[in-house]
């Protein structure tokens, strides 16, 4: 493939941008009475209305040509076909196999991975049934009421996000907790109210070497040993999710109580693997399977649908349009649903860890912008914090508004008020408010500019009927594949995470200095040496 910026479609998009940058959304809607339906696609009950974007049909045609010229079709086929597309780590990328509900064989190195995937799912279901039915008894013969997941990054964010989003589907007498931060406060605060007899720990770590997780896991084990006074209690109160059987058994967990996954599952893409066990424990195997069905439905849509109607492709290309032509630095994800309050946090990892890279697949520095800064909070809270900048700031911030027609918790007028805000905001962001209208309302002329909104702020509206396990699966897979599309266009390896690996190594070095204390021979730069020294003296 020739370099991205030399592709004919890229060149055409550059000239097209010169025309589009002066366009007004109000005019585009005025000119085309069919615009809302022209730029809307449906997938089941999920509507993506992307008409409030700074685009015309020509923009979309050029972006679709860009996808073709970048070989998106071949890249999708390569991922679904099990090719080792994570080339820097020599691995296939097969999170889609974890939710391959069709059971179509998926081959890695000549072997179908589906029997292994299904075996682990069966074991997870058996375990979840037992715990949820109160049949899994703790060391003192009491059923489990509290589940504490200890993990970080990909072994925390997805399950935590889903457990929050699907709380309405949870079992009321089972409480889920997540400990991720190595700051002692996190585990101490979590354990402070818990009774050891009723508490089960899940140690979730793909590698079983992550310093934060192992530090928290050791503290949890000490807490349990202190409470029960016997190592035999560990078998009843600890299970592991990992790919590293050796270290799991070294820690003291019988590998029969380990739920495995594989190196072709990236941490941030692992919520459908055994890493999703806390989700299954909370919502039950049936709902978990329904979530997998949702993921799978979107996987199939992405794999087979024509690009012009393909939701992840459309959203990915729109993101490229703003990131690379309008120079938007960030992208906001705004669910109008309190249960989705960790959705943006999870996507922050999935997106930024995947495409936050300046080295292209050819090993050279790319000459274009790659992954944007992803951020967001649920509405309506966000309206009372950062929306001012979205409406009247100097930066262009494209945003996804995600909402549901029906509430998980219908109470009085709450949902109508919530959704009125949801709709009103995208309308205001797109069309603003003119000075003429402001003056007509009787506003003093010297205040008119301050109360004027120029609009033209692009948004996508994603609207589904209700937040269910299935819908959450659809939405998550949509974003995972959107990120894939962008990685292909930007020509980066989306499935490694060298930046995270670096952090893991660096902290271990400094820890050695702390352990040596005043005898440490500090060999860092002057600033780092001084900070380490100060910490050693005062810690
Ligand atoms: C995700 C990353 C990273 C990882 C954590 C935890 O894609 O690799 O966030 O999930 O560092 O790693 P372990 O599961 O190995 O503890």
113-147 residue pLDDT tens: 999 999 999 999 999 999 999 999 999 999 999 99
Q: Which residues pair with 258 in a beta bridge?
A: 240
Does the beta carbon of 9 sit less than 6 angstroms from any atom of ligand 1? Answer: no
Residue 532 is predicted with a pLDDT of 97
Does the beta carbon of 268 sit less than 6 angstroms from any atom of ligand 1? Answer: yes
Residue 226 is predicted with a pLDDT of 97
Residue 154: which of 377, 373, 354 has the closest Cα? 354
Does the beta carbon of 452 sit less than 6 angstroms from any atom of ligand 1? Answer: no
Residue 538 is predicted with a pLDDT of 97
| Residue 498 alpha carbon to ligand 1 centre in Å | 11
Q: Could you read off the pLDDT of 41-54 as tens digits, one per residue?
A: 999 999 999 999 99
What is the spatial order of strands in the sheet that 330-335 belongs to?
40-43, 46-49, 459-464, 399-404, 330-335, 373-375
| Residue 209 alpha carbon to ligand 1 centre in Å | 10
Angle at 407 between CA 406 and CA 410, to 5 degrees: 115
Does the beta carbon of 215 sit less than 6 angstroms from any atom of ligand 1? Answer: no
519 pLDDT tier (thresholds 50, 70, 90): very high
Residue 1 is predicted with a pLDDT of 58
The whole-number average pLDDT for the span 195-220 is 97
Structure-derived torsion over alpha carbons of residues 191, 194, 195, 199, reported in degrees to the nearest 10? -80
Which residues have C-beta within 8 Å of that of residue 203, sequence separation ≥ 6? 150, 151, 213, 217, 220, 238, 239, 240, 241, 242, 248, 251, 253
Residue 505 is predicted with a pLDDT of 86
Does the beta carbon of 353 sit less than 6 angstroms from any atom of ligand 1? Answer: yes
Q: Could you read off the pLDDT of 218-251 as tens digits, one per residue?
A: 999 999 999 999 999 999 999 999 999 999 999 9
Task: Kindly state the tokens that stand for 386.
Answer: 């950062």
Atom number, ligand 1, closest to the C-alpha of residue 275? 14
The whole-number average pLDDT for the span 403-427 is 98
| Residue 268 alpha carbon to ligand 1 centre in Å | 7
| Residue 6 alpha carbon to ligand 1 centre in Å | 36
215 contacts 179 by C-beta, under 8 angstroms? no
Which residues have C-beta within 8 Å of that of residue 220, sequence separation ≥ 6? 148, 150, 179, 187, 191, 201, 203, 238
Angle at 69 between CA 64 and CA 70, to 5 degrees: 95
Neighbours of 467 (CB within 10 A): 23
Does the beta carbon of 421 sit less than 6 angstroms from any atom of ligand 1? Answer: no
Q: Could you read off the pLDDT of 49-83 as tens digits, one per residue?
A: 999 999 999 999 999 999 999 999 999 999 999 99
Q: Whose CA is nearest to atom 2 of ligand 1?
A: 267
Neighbours of 228 (CB within 10 A): 18
pTM: 0.97
Q: Look at residue 168 and tell me whether its pLDDT is greater than 80.
A: yes
506 pLDDT tier (thresholds 50, 70, 90): confident
Neighbours of 288 (CB within 10 A): 26
Q: Which residues pair with 333 in a beta bridge?
A: 400
Question: How far is it, in rounded angstroms, from Cα 16 to Cα 32?
Answer: 19
Question: How far is it, in rounded angstroms, from Cα 444 to Cα 456?
Answer: 25
Residue 209 is predicted with a pLDDT of 93
Does the beta carbon of 497 sit less than 6 angstroms from any atom of ligand 1? Answer: yes
For a pLDDT cut of 70, what percent of the chain falls above it? 100
Which of 153, 275, 493, 507, when mutated, tests ligand 1's pocket best, judged by the most ligand atoms within 8 Å of its CB?
A: 153
Q: Look at residue 2 and tell me whether its pLDDT is greater than 80.
A: no
Atom number, ligand 1, closest to the C-alpha of residue 153? 9
Residue 88 is predicted with a pLDDT of 97
Does the beta carbon of 159 sit less than 6 angstroms from any atom of ligand 1? Answer: no
Question: How far is it, in rounded angstroms, from Cα 466 to Cα 406?
Answer: 5
Q: Whose CA is nearest to atom 9 of ligand 1?
A: 153
Active site residues: 353, 384, 504
192 contacts 148 by C-beta, under 8 angstroms? no
**Mean model confidence pLDDT for the chain:** 97
Q: Environment class of residue 130 by beta-carbon count within 10 Å: exposed (0-12), middle (13-18) or buried (19+)?
A: middle
Which of 91, 207, 267, 349, when mutated, tests ligand 1's pocket best, judged by the most ligand atoms within 8 Å of its CB?
A: 267
61 contacts 47 by C-beta, under 8 angstroms? no
Does the beta carbon of 206 sit less than 6 angstroms from any atom of ligand 1? Answer: yes
Q: Whose CA is nearest to atom 11 of ligand 1?
A: 153
Which of 86, 91, 150, 155, when mutated, tests ligand 1's pocket best, judged by the most ligand atoms within 8 Å of its CB?
A: 155
265 pLDDT tier (thresholds 50, 70, 90): very high
Question: How far is it, in rounded angstroms, from Cα 82 to Cα 96?
Answer: 10
DSSP assignment string, 182-249 = -SHHHHHHHHHT--GGGEEEEEE-SSS--HHHHHHHHHHHHHHHHHH--GGGHHHHEEEEES-HHHHH
Atom number, ligand 1, closest to the C-alpha of residue 213? 16
Question: How far is it, in rounded angstroms, from Cα 184 to Cα 195?
Answer: 19
Report the number of secondary-structure helices (H) and strands (E) in the chain: 22, 13
504 pLDDT tier (thresholds 50, 70, 90): confident
């Amino acid at each position: 493939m020739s370099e991205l910026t030399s592709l004919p479609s890229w060149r055409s998009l550059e000239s097209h941008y010169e025309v589009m940058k002066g366009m007004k959304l109000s005019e585009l809607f005025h000119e085309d009475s069919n615009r809302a339906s022209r730029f809307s696609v449906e997938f089941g009950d999920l509507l993506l209305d992307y008409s409030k974007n700074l685009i015309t049909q020509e923009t979309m045609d050029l972006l679709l040509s860009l996808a073709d010229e970048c070989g998106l079709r071949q890249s999708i086929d390569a991922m679904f076909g099990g090719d080792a597309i994570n080339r820097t780590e020599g691995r296939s990328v097969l999170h889609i196999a974890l939710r391959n509900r069709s059971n179509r064989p998926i081959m890695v190195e000549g072997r179908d991975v589906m029997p292994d995937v299904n075996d682990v799912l069966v074991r997870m279901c058996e375990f979840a049934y037992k715990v949820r039915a109160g049949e899994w008894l703790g060391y003192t013969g009491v059923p489990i009421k509290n589940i504490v997941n200890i993990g970080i990054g990909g072994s925390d964010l997805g399950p935590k996000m889903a457990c929050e989003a699907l709380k309405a589907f949870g079992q009321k007498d089972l409480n889920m907790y997540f400990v991720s931060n190595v700051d002692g406060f996190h585990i101490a605060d979590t354990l402070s109210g818990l009774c050891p007899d009723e508490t089960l720990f899940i140690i979730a770590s793909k590698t079983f070497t992550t310093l934060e997780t192992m530090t928290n896991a050791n503290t949890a084990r000490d807490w349990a040993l202190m409470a029960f006074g016997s190592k035999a209690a560990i078998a009843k109160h600890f299970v592991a999710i990992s790919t590293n059987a050796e270290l799991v058994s070294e820690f003291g967990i019988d590998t029969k109580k380990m739920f495995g996954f594989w190196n072709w599952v990236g941490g941030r893409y692992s919520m459908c693997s055994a890493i999703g066990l806390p989700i299954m424990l909370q919502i039950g195997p049936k709902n978990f399977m329904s979530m997998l069905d949702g993921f799978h439905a979107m996987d199939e849509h992405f794999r087979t649908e024509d690009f012009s109607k393909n939701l992840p492709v459309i959203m990915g290309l729109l993101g490229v349009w703003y990131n690379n032509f309008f120079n938007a630095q960030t992208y906001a994800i705004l669910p109008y649903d309190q249960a989705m309050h960790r959705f943006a946090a999870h996507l922050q990892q999935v997106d930024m860890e995947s495409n936050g890279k300046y080295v292209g697949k050819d090993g050279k520095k790319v000459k274009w912008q790659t992954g944007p800064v992803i951020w967001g909070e649920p509405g309506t809270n966000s309206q009372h914090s950062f929306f001012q900048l979205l409406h009247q700031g100097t930066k262009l911030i494209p945003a996804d508004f995600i909402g549901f027609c029906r509430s998980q918790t219908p109470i009085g007028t709450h949902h109508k008020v919530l959704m009125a805000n949801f709709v009103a905001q995208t309308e205001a962001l797109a069309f603003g408010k003119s000075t003429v209208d402001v003056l007509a309302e009787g506003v003093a002329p010297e205040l008119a500019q301050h109360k004027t909104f120029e609009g033209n702020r692009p948004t996508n509206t994603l609207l589904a009927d209700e937040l269910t396990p299935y819908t959450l699966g659809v939405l998550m897979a949509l974003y995972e594949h959107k990120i894939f599309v962008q990685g292909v266009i930007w020509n980066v390896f989306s499935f490694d995470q060298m930046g995270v690996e670096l952090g893991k190594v660096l902290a271990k070095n400094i820890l050695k200095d702390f352990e040596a204390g005043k005898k440490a021979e500090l060999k860092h730069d002057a600033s780092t040496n001084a900070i380490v020294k100060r910490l050693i003296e005062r810690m």
